[in-house]
A and B are shown apart, each in its own frame.
Chain A
Amino acid sequence: MSEPIAQSEPGSVSDADLMERVRGGDREAFAGVVDIYKDAVVNYLARLTGDRDRAEDLAQETFLRLWRTAGSYVEQGFLRAFLFRIATNLVRSEERREKRFRLLLPFLGRRDRDEPAAPSGLLLQELHREVAGALALLPLRYRVPLVLHEIEGWAYSDIARELGCREGTVKSRIHRGRQQLRQSLQPYWQGGTAWKTTA
């Protein structure tokens, strides 16, 4: 299930070569890095935020930060992990700002951010929307390892290294994340028939 987090296309220029050129200000090489990792970063962010548009915005910012911090990147074959770390930090910062912003909302009489628009009435889409929405509401400390493991297919050891904690901690957080997700989906689960559509 787990896939290696370092990724280079077979026969293509390696991450190390590309990043070496990026460090020298080579925009073409940078475009190559963006092309290789844009889908992975957008998908990761979409699952972390539960919002496709925010994911796209944050993914752009992730690559811009990679460009700016390319000098500090140490090649160890983990460019994907490096990008995901930037993306995670962006989400963390955003949620912190959002929390502060929510404190102001009662004084401003502004509606909170709208829920992601529901897709068409198809049950499968409805199920995906429910799952993605419930996932986005998990605390970030559970959400990040859960997404990395279940969706991105990272091994526990890779996640532990990336998050700077022990493997046991990663497993525990993933377990708690699953538990909370199950509880969140329980009402929908008991009342709906969406499960059958995925079989």
Chain B
Amino acid sequence: MEDHSVGRLLRELPRETARPGFTQRVLRRLDEPAEARSALPRFAVATRAAVALAVVALVVAGGAFRVEQSREAARTAEARRVLQEIRAEHDRLERELRTLAEPPVVYLGGDERVDLVVGLDKVPAEDGPVPATYRVDTY
């Protein structure tokens, strides 16, 4: 296709004319406020709607972010509380374990100056006392 063909094509395009009542429509719009006389009413509305939607989307996203942040903070606080409980429980169990780990003793008697105590861990196992329930001849 040559350049002159393009020119010919363009010149052959049918000429558009204004629709009937064009002049009256323009005259009617002379008294409209400048704001309403947008060159592109539909487009301007669409643009404003798009901007409004974008703002709403940002606000919603910001709100969601804040909600997520507060949820995160609540989750952290809960985790800290549980950790405190676990630590307290751990301390309690450790104390119990320490108590249980102490060797058993038998208090034999004493006075104001001396307590007579037998540490059962010091007694050799084979010679040590045997609980009565272990002795079949008890019965």
Binding site for B on A (CB under 8 A): 27, 30-31, 34-35, 38-39, 41-43, 46-47, 52, 54-61, 63-64, 67-68, 90, 93-94, 97-98, 100-101, 104-105, 107-108, 110, 127-128, 131-132, 135, 146-147, 150-151, 175, 178-179, 181-182, 185-186, 189, 198
A42 neighbours in B (Cβ, 8 Å)? 16-18, 22
Is B37's CB under 8 angstroms from A34's CB?
Answer: no
Is A108's CB under 8 angstroms from B22's CB?
Answer: no
Q: With an 8 A cutoff between CB atoms, is B54 at the interface?
A: yes
Give the A-B contact count at a CB cut-off of 8 A.
119
Other-chain contact of A98, B13, B17, B41, B43 (Cβ < 8 Å): B43
CB distance from B48 to the nearest CB of A (A): 10
CB distance from A63 to the nearest CB of B (A): 5
Is A34's CB under 8 angstroms from B10's CB?
Answer: no
Q: With an 8 A cutoff between CB atoms, is B46 at the interface?
A: yes
Segment at the A interface, from B24-32, B70-78, B100-108, B131-139: B24-32
CB distance from B40 to the nearest CB of A (A): 6
Is A64's CB under 8 angstroms from B26's CB?
Answer: yes
Is B23's CB under 8 angstroms from A31's CB?
Answer: yes
CB distance from A60 to the nearest CB of B (A): 5
B19 neighbours in A (Cβ, 8 Å)? 56
Binding site for A on B (CB under 8 A): 1, 3, 5-19, 22-23, 25-27, 29-30, 34, 37-41, 43, 46-47, 50-51, 53-54, 57
Is A150's CB under 8 angstroms from B23's CB?
Answer: no
Known contacts: A101-B46, A175-B3. The answer to whether A47 contacts B40 by CB under 8 A is: no
Is A131's CB under 8 angstroms from B40's CB?
Answer: no
- 10 residue pairs A–B, Cβ–Cβ below 8 Å: A31-B27, A46-B16, A59-B22, A67-B30, A68-B34, A90-B39, A128-B14, A181-B6, A182-B1, A185-B9
Is A56's CB under 8 angstroms from B1's CB?
Answer: no
- Of chain B, the residue at the smallest CB distance from A104 is B50
Q: How far, in angstroms, from A178 to B9 measured CA to CA in the complex?
A: 11
B18 neighbours in A (Cβ, 8 Å)? 38-39, 41-42, 56, 59
A52 neighbours in B (Cβ, 8 Å)? 16
CB distance from A68 to the nearest CB of B (A): 8
CB distance from A150 to the nearest CB of B (A): 4
Q: How far, in angstroms, from A147 to B13 measured CA to CA in the complex?
A: 11
Is A101's CB under 8 angstroms from B50's CB?
Answer: yes
B40 neighbours in A (Cβ, 8 Å)? 54, 57-58, 94, 97
Q: How far, in angstroms, from A56 to B18 measured CA to CA in the complex?
A: 7
B39 neighbours in A (Cβ, 8 Å)? 57-58, 61, 90, 93-94
Is B13's CB under 8 angstroms from A47's CB?
Answer: yes
CB distance from A185 to the nearest CB of B (A): 7
Other A-B contacts than A47-B16, A104-B54, 9 sampled, CB-CB below 8 A, are A31-B27, A34-B26, A38-B22, A42-B16, A42-B22, A47-B10, A54-B40, A55-B16, A57-B39
